[in-house]
Amino acid sequence: MAHTFEELVEKQRAADQAHATVQALRSKGDPPAYETAWQVWRDLAQDVRGAVTVHAQEQGAVRAGVELAVKKVVRHTV
């Protein structure tokens, strides 16, 4: 399935938010909540990687370059 660059950015934002939740739960002493959050993060991150790969192939771009561009937009937006 084709993804626009904007969709990749939104997917990365969701994965980053899920990662923040995992980090917050790490020290809370609630293993079931941590495990659930970790699985959500893992699934979202996997979805991002797959979407970036497809997008790069469709655009004839280098996958690592697309991933870097997505992360730059997500993590450097003020």
**pLDDT tens digits, 3-37:** 899 999 999 999 999 999 999 999 898 999 999 99
For 63-78, the pLDDT digits (tens) are 999 999 999 999 986 5
Which residue segment(s) compose the domain that 43 sits in? Answer: 5-75
Looking at 1-78, list the stretches that DSSP marks H as alpha helix, in order from N- to C-terminal side: 5-25, 31-59, 63-75
pLDDT of residue 76: 87
Report the amino acid identity of residue 67: E
The residue type at 22: V
pLDDT at 42: 98
pLDDT score for 39: 98
Please calculate the CA angle 16-20-25 and round it to the nearest 5 degrees: 145
Q: How many domains does the chain have?
A: 1
Count of Cβ atoms closer than 10 Å to residue 71 Cβ? 16
Tokens 């280098």 belong to which residue? 62
| Angstrom distance (rounded) from CA 28 to CA 65 | 36
20, 29, 41 from 65: Cα distances, Å:
24, 38, 22
